[in-house]
Amino acid sequence: MTPDPLVASLRQAAQAVPGSKIGQIFEYGRDKPGLIPMWFGESDVPTPDFIKRAAEDALAQGLTKYSDKRGVTPLRDALSEYLSGLYGVTIGEDRIRAAASGMSAIMIALQMLVEPGKNVVFITPLWPNASAATRILGGEVREVQLDVNQHHEHVLDLDKLFAAFDDNTVALFVASPSNPTGWTLREPKMRAILEECRRRGIWVIADEVYARLCYDRHVAPSFLEIADPEDRVIAINSFSKTWCMTGWRLGWAVVPASIGRVFEKVTEFNTSGATTFVQWAGVAAVKGGEPFLEEQKRICQANRDRIQARLGQLPRVRLAKAPASFYAWFSVEGEPDSMALAKRLVDEAGVGLAPGAAFGAGGEGHLRLCFASAPETVERALDRLIPALR
């Protein structure tokens, strides 16, 4: 097919970046009547009322002007108090930068670091957006695949990871807990990574958006606990998953104070700052969101165990209990093509799952099921999936 001349005139990197395979399966199945959608990474619970009311109050007070590019002071103060309490180390408001989503914070971090000829190392399988952003910016993507042990759990081989670094590596992007696997970096390996990155002058972009959905701890281990304030660490976080706020588009980054100004400048040329009244919803979430979060976590954990007990028993299914996140990540013996299987499950079971091929090296041959839904919905989806996967 001859390429469209207008498309052909665009930057090669923008043309070449692969479209989302989750988007593809969504397009395939979205019109199927009665389909149970479990393909996106979001809860079916609406944002709680106390958070919505804070945004309404901010609107009523006329807080509709441009925001401070760093984020409004009450949000930075609230996040400083929240993070310092969570991790037992002081995270000053001068290190906090609000962004118009976790994804926007990731893009800003990458815009500060990536240029043609440089590479970013990713631990995969991984939610594909950050590597796609690296490609759009003209950087090289290097993938280091997690190993899988005999219990189908994911394990990071540090030698393999460090062998991927070279003099052109500007950053390691590590999502822990991970989307899609729930794999979670524990402290000894986190320290080893920090040491190696310090030695080589490599930045760590630590994507910690699932930190609070960790089932064996109050919060997943964070680079913020072990790094010095001026280490080359950018910790990304978001309101989307923790407080059911995916549509609000609000996130934040913790950066060394010395680069805060650059982050602010780059923010100016992306979004000019997160939406002002939405940031007030963020303040309410951070200050009053713990009971809601505890309840969400309890529901998700029960769903995870329910899926393990039912899907995990099928002879062809290989599924490990994720220590964190709200995803079940599994393979099905004899089903190497994840998009074909995801389509069959739309057609035969009326359940929408994400194909593993969307998640880079190590993803093909797997499916991702987001279980942040009402328990009855998860049971109904399992009732439909089990006959199709037997």
Footprint on this chain of ligand PLP (rule: CB under 6 A): 41, 101-103, 127, 175, 179, 207, 209, 238, 240, 246, 251
- Give the shortest CB-106-to-ligand PLP separation in angstroms: 6
- Give the shortest CB-117-to-ligand PLP separation in angstroms: 26
Count Cβ atoms within 10 A of the Cβ of residue 203 and give its class: 0-12 exposed, 13-18 middle, 19 or more buried. buried
- Give the shortest CB-390-to-ligand PLP separation in angstroms: 30
> For residues 26 and 67, what is the distance between their CA atoms, to the nearest angstrom?
35
Quick count: other Cβ atoms within 10 Å of Cβ 181?
A: 30
- Give the shortest CB-72-to-ligand PLP separation in angstroms: 18
> Which of 128, 350 has the CB closer to ligand PLP?
128
> Which of 349, 370 has the CB closer to ligand PLP?
370
> Which of 209, 253 has the CB closer to ligand PLP?
209
- Give the shortest CB-250-to-ligand PLP separation in angstroms: 7
Structure tokens at 356: 């593993």
Determine which helix (DSSP H) or strand (DSSP E) holds 331, and give its type and residue range: strand 327-332
> Which of 103, 381 has the CB closer to ligand PLP?
103
Question: How does DSSP assign 121-177, residue by residue?
Answer: EEEES--THHHHHHHHTTPEEEEEEPEE-TTS-EE--HHHHHHT--TTEEEEEEESS
> Which of 209, 255 has the CB closer to ligand PLP?
209
Rg (CA), the chain: 21
- Give the shortest CB-240-to-ligand PLP separation in angstroms: 3
> For residues 326 and 328, what is the distance between their CA atoms, to the nearest angstrom?
7
> For residues 285 and 267, what is the distance between their CA atoms, to the nearest angstrom?
23
Show Cβ contacts of residue 202 under 8 Å, excluding neighbours closer than 6 positions. Answer: 165, 169, 170, 171, 172, 196, 232
> Which of 28, 40 has the CB closer to ligand PLP?
40
> Which of 75, 209 has the CB closer to ligand PLP?
209
DSSP label of 46: P
> Which of 278, 349 has the CB closer to ligand PLP?
278
- Give the shortest CB-109-to-ligand PLP separation in angstroms: 11
> Which of 207, 349 has the CB closer to ligand PLP?
207
> For residues 54 and 368, what is the distance between their CA atoms, to the nearest angstrom?
34
> For residues 352 and 343, what is the distance between their CA atoms, to the nearest angstrom?
8
> Which of 83, 382 has the CB closer to ligand PLP?
83
> For residues 183 and 159, what is the distance between their CA atoms, to the nearest angstrom?
18
- CB contact at 8 A, 36 and 384: yes
* Residue whose CB is nearest to ligand PLP in the complex, by number: 102
Place of tokens 């309840």: 295
- CB contact at 8 A, 346 and 29: yes
- Give the shortest CB-1-to-ligand PLP separation in angstroms: 32
- Give the shortest CB-316-to-ligand PLP separation in angstroms: 27
> For residues 248 and 55, what is the distance between their CA atoms, to the nearest angstrom?
10
- Give the shortest CB-6-to-ligand PLP separation in angstroms: 29
- CB contact at 8 A, 98 and 78: no
